[in-house]
């Protein structure tokens, strides 16, 4: 695994290391979902798989964690994404998708502007996955 990769039962299922029903000593995949998926209804078009993929993109090719921190906790360069406070949008899934695509040329509190897609070359599908993950961060607190 790379430095930014983390182990999860969902990832293990995707690469074929765990069956969907779980193994002795390991929770079944259904039980391993983030709390937000059990307590919040997902936005239209968003799946649990998108959230899982979004985290991988957030900490990898999306470059998001460079400014927002490994878990979206915020840094001096960019705000936290894990609370209910949104500086530039209302925090809805669709607004997050739009913001990632267009960037934030005039940030209200961050040190530097956010360029579209954070300067990465992620696809539109990857943007939607990142937005699903970011949405889940703010809803899980």
Residue identified by tokens 């059990």 is 38
Claim to verify: residue 67 and residue 118 sit in the same structural domain: yes
Claim to verify: residue 74 and residue 116 sit in the same structural domain: yes
Q: What is the pLDDT of residue 113?
A: 95
Claim to verify: residue 12 and residue 60 sit in the same structural domain: no
Q: How many alpha carbons fall within 13 Å on the CB side of residue 95?
A: 8
Tokens of 108: 């209200």
Enclosing domain of residue 2? 1-32
Residue 37 lies in a domain: no
Claim to verify: residue 67 and residue 1 sit in the same structural domain: no
The sign of the dihedral angle between the CA atoms of 61, 66, 70, 71 is negative
Along the 141 residues of the chain, how does pLDDT read in single tens digits? 334 444 344 333 333 333 443 444 444 443 333 444 444 699 999 999 999 999 999 999 999 999 999 999 999 999 999 998 999 999 999 999 999 999 999 998 888 999 999 999 999 999 999 999 999 999 864
CA 62 to chain centre: 10
Is this prediction's pTM over 0.85? Answer: no
């Amino acid at each position: 695994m790379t430095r930014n990769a983390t182990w999860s039962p969902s990832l293990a299922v995707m690469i074929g290391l765990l069956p969907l029903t779980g193994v002795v000593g390991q929770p079944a995949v259904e039980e391993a979902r983030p709390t937000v998926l059990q307590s919040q209804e997902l936005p239209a078009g968003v799946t649990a798989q998108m959230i899982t993929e979004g985290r991988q993109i957030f900490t990898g090719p999306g470059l998001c964690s460079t400014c927002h921190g490994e878990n979206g906790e915020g840094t001096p360069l960019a705000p936290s994404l894990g609370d209910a406070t949104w500086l530039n949008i209302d925090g809805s899934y669709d607004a997050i998708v739009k913001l990632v695509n267009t960037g934030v040329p005039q940030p209200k509190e961050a040190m530097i502007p956010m360029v579209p897609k954070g300067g990465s070359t992620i696809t539109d599908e990857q943007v939607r996955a990142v937005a699903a993950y970011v949405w889940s961060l703010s809803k899980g607190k």
